[in-house]
Structure 1
Amino acid sequence: MDIDLLLTLFAGTILLLSLFSSALQRISLPGPVLALTTGVLLGPAVLGVVRIEDLGVPTGELLEQAARITLAVGLAGVALRLPHGYWRRNRRWVVASIVLGMPVMWAVSTGVLWALLGVPFLVALTLGAIITPTDPVVSTPVVTGSLAEAKIPRRVRYDISSESGLNDGLGYLFVLLPVLLLTSPETAGQDLLVSVLLREVLGAALFGALAGYLLARIFVLAKNRGLMEDSSYLGFLLPFALLLLGAGKLLGTDAVLAVFVAAAVFGQVIPQRDEDQEDAVEDVVNRFFLLPVFILLGLDLPFDAWAALGWSAPAVVLAALLLRRAVDLLVLRPLLRRVHSVPETVFLGWFGPVGISALFYATLAERMTGNHDLFVYTTLAITLSVVIHGLSTAPASEWLRRREASTTS
């Protein structure tokens, strides 16, 4: 395929979406929705201008690596937004949403999919794990930008960021359990404990913390000695995320989790940065990395496989998506009464999108198990979530603003 055609189509789409990003956000048409639509229009389903197979890389590998890199860069930006002292002041939310919230969401999504979708239990368990984490990259319109700052309380934005960052990294542990049961049931328990939990997950946390602290001290030293300009922050963020992603993988750890932990530690050690500047940097980075992945996904959406599932499959997948989050916040509400008001809890219970992280885990699970149904169902979930959560961002944010104003009055 002609590289110039790809550059024109991909860069032109990103340029147009960037030019009108503010207007599109106000009318609740965020970038992921339009990028996904663009991919569908350009792909074989409509115009047939571009086929993902023509890019010269196996489709599964291309999507997995593109999602992995996008997720790492997005997680680094999310972690760096959190203010100094956030983790200490908000440990109740962090512990509740991760230690209790993730198992609840996994159980609810698995139960709905197994009961109503008619797939084997281990497949439902894998799908439930894939869609359990909330996506930090798709959540960007809710945590950054003029719409978020005007209508969504800062504590809600920070809590969405921290939860989505942590549960995306820890999602690896949840996904690998059913994958190991499918591929090597005899040694699944030992592999999960020794290889996954101890080496990959805990190893990632330790490596990320040490690397984040060391890089933060180097960053502060360079800034204090006048060795780098303020404009170098963006140039530092990208290699920071990619360095940790590559090194974490080479060390055999959960590299995605390592990136988030490193960025979280890094952000607490370096001097507090201006939120507007952080949002601007994160917005640029996310737009540059996020939109191409959704265009790629739009090129490869399995419409024929979806049609073969019947009309009930989208309804079941959507029920699993929405109920997992609503039940989770309902269960956690007694623990969060002093953390979030009722309107904030309702908003958090609605806004639990899936996207890049689900795509990454789906392609990973498909590669390890050879089960293509995982990709088919997950892409259906991603599409439904991107459309429904994306189109509801503006009205849900306005509803929260009005309820908060009414409560304050």
Structure 2
Amino acid sequence: MPTLAVNNFNIVVSVLGGWISLFGLVSYLLKENFYLSEALISLLAGLTFSPHAANFVRPLEYAGSEENLNAITLYFTRLVLGVQLVLAGVQLPSRYLRTEWKPLALLLGPIMTAMWLMTSLLVWALIPHLPFLHALVVGACVTPTDPVLSNVIVKGRFADHNVPKDLQTIIIAESGANDGLGYPFLFLALYLIKYIGDGGVNEPGGAGLAIGLWFGETWGYTIILSVIYGAVVGWIAKELLHYCEEHKFVDRESFLVFAFSLALLITGTCGMIGSDDILACFIAGNVFTWDDWFRLATVDDSLQPTIDMLLNVAIFMWYGAVCPWHSFIANDVIPIYRLIPLGILILLLRRLPFILMSYKKITQIDGLRQAIFMGFFGPIGCSAIFYLYVTLEFITMLNPDQGDTPRWDVARLQEDVSVVVWFMVICSVVVHGLSIPLGKFGIYLPRTISRTLSSPEDLISFQVGGRVIPRSRSRDETAANTPTESRSVSLRPVYRIGGSIIPEHPSATRPSPAHLSGASDIIGPRDNLDGGSKSTSTKVESESQWNMSSPILPNRMIRFPDEAPSSDKESRELKGDVAC
């Protein structure tokens, strides 16, 4: 006997599939016409289906505990970042990291360090009773720019029309590389908290041991090892795929999906050895297409954008469902009247001033306007969530003797970093997701109003066959002043495509010559189909000077050139008609 199975799996799959289908039906309209990002729309959808609203998707119930939920979010984010960063590396031109190392070194070195310090200072200044080391942790989480949200300004119609190709490429390269380079900033603060945060009572060694571990474990094992590992795996994968493709060992489907399988391999293996899987994926993707072979072979393929879209929609729906929305108002860290100014100041001062100060040294930025654009669009997204949960995992290990009880000096750090990082992610998704459509609206609305106010109030222009024809707005007044026997016929000539006049039906009541003369003064010169002006006469001419060979069809405003008279009788009926 059939039974209902309204379980968690069926609900999640139904909601996810239904939402992706609905979004797909209007995706072109939303993304290419209204310039709305799929991240913003999916985030709002996740909130709508979450326990905070419809309660269709219940992440905590699926996970069983807060710790399991954090682990699921961390692993899901790692997966999405791994795939996205391999694709980001594949999109770069041949040998890009070697040829453009100077601007990348400036962006990933001094500018990224300045972003970290500025963000940390703002957090330290606006959150009461927050130690500066804790502020450095929060600042490190939101310093990297997100490659997922960066797709809003490097892909699609807006990017094609407004963002130069060189600027798109440098944004992709920076957002891919600085995701993995967030580790040194984060672990410098975490090691200092571990060894000097409580006065060195529980963890002896002091600042010297913290700096030593930072250089050895973070830079040596995490960063340098991941770069070497990603480069080696990417080069081996490129050579193997090239060899198999030349010898016809691989089919087209496996060829196209190879980059995704490479991302999964690197994410899993780096996770097992404890290295930086994010940076390794980006390096592997760039080395994989070092000679541009794979990039050019897949440039017209739609599989990569399709998988990219599915992952973006899924991850931001999950973020909308698991985000602690209530904590923005009810928390012991920072009141909402401080949290909102903090979000605004971080978005304005975290990146923009430093790009403006150094944009003349970055050859891809051409002028002040592009510098402002690149400085403002430094989104905070998946990478911030990744570093947030890495931080929470590190904090739980600071006091292993007492289980899950945190050490006294970091008792508030978990809530501090969670509230601020989640709030900054939401702010960035909303602000950067709405900036382009609002900017477009602000540009076109004044122009539309200006054109409307500057046009004559008694005339409206319309276009037929490449020429503009004004007509009277005051139809009621015209009708009132027109004799009753003439009201059934329009006083305005009707044109075919190509410029010739459509004669009136013989049975219709003809207007007087005075009306025709007045109408002819309004209509301008006639244009032919090729766009050239062949006549400048504005007076009434006889039918012998014009070609009026179309049949009389009722309720037709435009005639096509191939609509010839159906009989000689019909042609004779057209004689005597006038034209302007």
TM-score over 0.5 for the alignment? yes
RMSD value, Cα: 2.1
Which residue does 1:160 correspond to in 2?
171
How far apart, in 1, do the equivalents of 2:179 and 2:420 lie? 19
Which residue does 2:415 correspond to in 1?
372
Q: Deviations over 1:109-156 (max 9, x none)?
A: 111111122322112111111111100011112112233223211111
Q: Deviations over 1:204-229 (max 9, x none)?
A: 01111111111111111111112223
Which residue does 2:377 correspond to in 1?
351
Displacement after TM superposition at 1:330 (Å): 1.9
Contact 1:347 1:396 in 2 (8 A): no
Which residue does 2:513 correspond to in 1?
none
Contact 2:226 2:279 in 1 (8 A): yes
* 317-326 or 268-277, which deviates more: 268-277
Letter in 2 for 1:121: F
Contact 1:151 1:397 in 2 (8 A): no
Closer, same or farther: CA 392–369 of 1 in aligned 2, 3 Å: same
Larger Cα Rg: Structure 1 or Structure 2?
2
Contact 1:182 1:369 in 2 (8 A): no
* 191-200 or 264-273, which deviates more: 264-273
How far apart, in 1, do the equivalents of 2:439 and 2:363 lie? 21
How far apart, in 2, do the equivalents of 1:260 and 1:127 lie? 24
Report SS of the residue matched to 2:329. Answer: helix
Q: Which of 152, 162, 171 in structure 1 is aligned with 2:182?
A: 171
Displacement after TM superposition at 1:398 (Å): 9.7
Which residue does 2:124 correspond to in 1?
114
Contact 2:42 2:317 in 1 (8 A): yes
Which residue does 1:243 correspond to in 2?
265
Displacement after TM superposition at 1:338 (Å): 6.8
Matching of residue 128 in structure 1 with residue 139 in structure 2: yes
Matching of residue 383 in structure 1 with residue 390 in structure 2: no
Closer, same or farther: CA 393–108 of 1 in aligned 2, 3 Å: same
Give the structure, 1 or 2, with the largest relative contact order (CA under 8 Å, sep 6 or more).
Answer: 1
Q: Which of 88, 96, 105 in structure 2 is aligned with 1:86?
A: 96
Letter in 1 for 2:12: L
Which residue does 2:347 correspond to in 1?
321
How far apart, in 1, do the equivalents of 2:298 and 2:432 lie? 24
Contact 2:167 2:364 in 1 (8 A): no
Closer, same or farther: CA 176–19 of 1 in aligned 2, 3 Å: farther
How far apart, in 2, do the equivalents of 1:45 and 1:398 lie? 31
Letter in 2 for 1:6: V
1:216-255 map, 5 Å: 216-255=238-277
5+ long unaligned stretches in structure 1:
401-409
Which residue does 2:235 correspond to in 1?
213
* 275-284 or 128-137, which deviates more: 275-284
Contact 1:32 1:291 in 2 (8 A): yes
Which residue does 2:51 correspond to in 1?
44
TM-score computed with the length of structure 1 as normaliser = 0.92
Contact 1:209 1:265 in 2 (8 A): yes
Which residue does 1:30 correspond to in 2?
37
Q: Which of 74, 77, 99 in structure 2 is aligned with 1:67?
A: 77
| Aligned length in residues | 400
How far apart, in 2, do the equivalents of 1:169 and 1:326 lie? 21
Displacement after TM superposition at 1:320 (Å): 1.3
Report SS of the residue matched to 2:94. Answer: coil
How far apart, in 1, do the equivalents of 2:17 and 2:421 lie? 27
Report SS of the residue matched to 1:184. Answer: helix
Report SS of the residue matched to 1:343. Answer: helix
Q: Deviations over 1:273-318 (max 9, x none)?
A: 3498368343212222122121111112222211033222122123
Contact 1:204 1:248 in 2 (8 A): yes
1:219-298 map, 5 Å: 219-269=241-291, 271=293, 273-274=295-296, 277=299, 280-298=302-320
Contact 2:116 2:140 in 1 (8 A): yes
Report SS of the residue matched to 1:100. Answer: helix
Which residue does 1:11 correspond to in 2?
17
Which residue does 1:202 correspond to in 2?
224
Contact 2:95 2:291 in 1 (8 A): no
Which residue does 2:474 correspond to in 1?
none
Matching of residue 146 in structure 1 with residue 157 in structure 2: yes
Contact 2:137 2:186 in 1 (8 A): yes
Letter in 1 for 2:168: R
* 174-183 or 357-366, which deviates more: 174-183
